[in-house]
Amino acid sequence: MKILIADDDKIFMSLMVDILADGKDEVLQAENGLVAWERLQTEGADIAVLDVNMPEMDGVELLKLIRGDERFKNLPVLVLTIGFMAEDLVQRYDAAVTDYLTKPFEISALQLKVKEMEQRILKNPAAGG
């Protein structure tokens, strides 16, 4: 599957790419929300992993654009947030957030969440993006 990852942390990005680009999955990288939105529109994705805190366009603005677009309204989106923001984010954007992880997390937890999303898409292709 094609996984779009948007995160401005270069070191963390390379860790995520290492674990997710495993042969079956193709990873599209974006260093901010604006680049992510451009890549999503031109290249598409099956799953998106969005950091909340990013320059140019943050993950919440990007999430709103994604959900407001007919092409991506069902795209599974995993949001990467930080502890004190997680509760507020999930309350306000519950319907828009497919799943989330609170930083810092084990990279294996990310792998598990993405695999769960892939399984859901395989079982119900209509749930994909």
Q: Report, in Å, the least distance between residue 8 CB and Mg ion.
A: 4
51 lies in the site for Mg ion, by CB under 5 A: yes
Q: Report, in Å, the least distance between residue 29 CB and Mg ion.
A: 13
Residue 99 makes CB contacts below 8 A (sequence gap 6+) with: 76, 77, 78, 79, 113, 116, 117
Compute φ and ψ for 87, nearest 5 degrees. -65, -45
Please choose, out of 24-32, 45-53, 93-101, 110-118, the segment that lies near Mg ion by the rule CB under 5 A.
Answer: 45-53
Instruction: Sketch the per residue contact string, 1 through 40, with Mg ion: x for CB under 5 A, - otherwise.
Output: -------x--------------------------------
Do 51 and 59 meet the contact criterion of CB atoms below 8 Å apart?
Answer: yes
Please give the size of the binding site for Mg ion, defined by CB under 5 A: 3
In this complex, which beta carbon is closest to Mg ion, that of residue 23 or of residue 104?
104
Binder of Mg ion out of 53, 74, 102, 111 (CB under 5 A)? 53
Retrieve residue 85's tokens. 């923001």
Largest CA distance in the chain: 36
Tell me the β-bridge partners of 50.
Answer: 6, 79
